[in-house]
Structure 1
Amino acid sequence: MAIENAIHLEGRINAHRRLLVELVSVMAGIPEAREALVAMARDNETVVDHEEDPGSDPDPAFAAQQIADDELRAILKAAMARLETRV
């Protein structure tokens, strides 16, 4: 049962990602939007080396945020590549 749920969830996430890549690639065709998307890909929301609290131990939340940042950049990169194929 858990495997079926995991497969179902993975399929849904992949569908959302494909849709998001397509939508972002269309948006990137607008110069102002493209600038904002490039800035989003460039900027890093993850706190590096525990900048918020140098004495603290690593927290799993930092790992989750890094994964989110990596996925965001991957989506933006895929969208920009898709846009380039249209031009």
Structure 2
Amino acid sequence: MTIGNSIHLEGRINAHRRLLVELVCTVAAIPDARAALVAMARDNETVRDHEEDPGIEPDAAFAVQQIADNELRGILKAAMARLETKL
């Protein structure tokens, strides 16, 4: 991937993230939805040590799953923080 493509991709991802944060913030204003979003932020989809044997060295799938979980929680946390400023 060239630098130009990388910058373009990063810009698009940042725009998607900003949009998601605002949408989640709007949905979180609904009490039942907020409870579900808080539960989603609390839950973890990453496989725990005893649930699956990744072998001696976990492969890329485990790393990608952890990155996705962290990003999801980051988006939810940002949305909840934005909601708190609006209340």
Gaps of 5+ in 2: none
> Aligned Cα RMSD in Å?
1.4
Match of 1:46 in 2: 46
Paired-residue identity, %: 79
- TM normalised by structure 2 equals 0.93
What's the CA shift for 1:48? 1.8
Distance 1:40 1:46 in 2: 13
CA offset at residue 50 of structure 1? 5.6
Unaligned runs of 5+ in 1: none
| Counterparts of 1:50 and 1:65, CA distance in 2 | 16
The residue identity in structure 1 corresponding to 2:75 is I
Equivalent residue, structure 2, for 1:76: 76
Segments ≥4 residues shifted beyond 3 Å:
none
Match in the other structure for 1:37 = 37
